[in-house]
Amino acid sequence: MSPAAKARVSVVTGGASGIGAACARELAASGDLVMVVDRDLAKARDVAAEFGGRAYVADVGDETSVEACAEAIERECGPVDVLVNSAGIIQVPVRPHDLPMSAWDDVVRVDQRGTYVACLAFARRMIARKRGSIVNIASIAGMRSMPLHAYAPAKAAVIAITECLAAEWGPSGVRVNAVSPGYTLTPALKNAIDRGERDVSALSANAALRRLVDPSEIGRVVAFLASDAASAITGANLPVDCGWLAGTSWSTYGGLREASG
């Protein structure tokens, strides 16, 4: 970007930790003025301080909160060019009858409803300007059967929301894409591993690359989809999973083979 060029304004929800923070850092590294939006304003400020961004508080499940946040950002920082919807919560992989409906409601409210609410709030202004890029963080859990009876359906809905809004808003110049991370070493996953709720070897055994994803790898793909280099891409869902989707069905044949050569 030339010194005279105006920096893009990018917003990352759930930007205070994990994949959201990685996306915020990557967008900032590419020259964007990044707004870190999170329920935890203190942590959002810590992340934003790393690269001279700004922090805002919002509960993505509350449309009034998100609309107020969008209005404040546009008023104080200028037109938003990029929105990354990374706000989300996970769940324990229990049987349906052991999953409280309150927990199910929380996941759907944040992961599914929150994505849709944020899309509406920020896209309204993008549509008026005839430009903008939205990247929703979905999950490979939304592409396969898993014992995550709230999280997996919610992330499948994020993929569907992405496709529907891409078709709806494409004529207005707004692109909408999704990234579906595989098992990624975020603080949330690390905590689940520490609690004994996830087994690292089991998570990586079916991945073709035989490892977990680093959050920075998600950030780089998100930055690409938000950039002009992806100007013809909309309605896409791009898995970033170290080949987990490609490798899982090999378990029927004894699992992935050892490295060749």
For residue 174, is it within any domain?
yes
Encoded tokens for 28 = 């900032």
The Cα–Cα gap between 75 and 69 comes to: 10
pLDDT attached to residue 5: 65
pLDDT at 2: 46
* Number of compact structural domains in the chain: 1
| Distances in whole angstroms, Cα of residue 227 to Cα of each of 71, 90, 127, 157, 171 | 23, 28, 18, 24, 18
Q: Is residue 162 part of a domain?
A: yes
In the three-class reduction of DSSP (H, G, I as helix; E, B as strand; rest coil), residue 246 is classed as: helix
Is 253 designated active site? no
User: Looking at the domain assignment, is residue 255 inside a domain?
Assistant: no
Residue appearing with tokens 């791009």: 238
Report the Cα 161 to chain-centroid distance in Å: 13
- Residue 193's pLDDT is 87
- What pLDDT score was predicted for residue 183? 94
> Which CATH number does the domain housing residue 86 bear?
3.40.50.720
* Token pair belonging to 188: 């949330």
H, E, C per residue of 32-74 = CEEEEEECCHHHHHHHHHCCCCEEEECCCCCHHHHHHHHHHHH
CB-neighbour burial class of residue 141 (10 A; exposed 0-12, middle 13-18, buried 19+): buried
> Token digits for 141?
């859990």
Q: For residue 204, is it within any domain? A: yes
Question: Tens place of pLDDT for every residue, the chain, 261 residues?
Answer: 444 568 999 999 999 999 999 999 999 999 999 999 999 999 999 999 999 999 999 999 999 999 999 999 999 999 999 999 999 999 989 999 999 999 999 999 999 999 999 999 999 999 999 999 999 999 999 999 999 999 999 999 999 999 999 999 999 999 999 999 999 998 878 888 898 888 888 889 999 999 999 999 999 999 999 999 999 999 999 999 999 999 999 999 999 999 987
Which of 56, 116, 151, 183 is the catalytic position? Answer: 151
3-state secondary structure of 134: strand
Please check whether residue 22 lies inside any domain of the structure.
Answer: yes
Please report whether residue 254 resides in a domain: no
Contact 65, 41 (CB under 8 A): no
Tell me phi and psi for residue 145, to 5 degrees.
Answer: -75, 130
Is 128 contained in some domain?
yes
What DSSP string runs through 135-203? EEE--GGGTS--S-TTHHHHHHHHHHHHHHHHHHHGGGTEEEEEEEE-SB--HHHHHHHHTTS--HHHH
Would you say residue 251 lies in a domain? no
Give CA 84 to chain center in angstroms: 6
Look up the domain containing 55 and give its range. Answer: 9-239
Number of H-type helices and E-type strands within the chain: 10, 7
Q: What is the reported pTM?
A: 0.94
CB 245 within 8 A of CB 140: yes
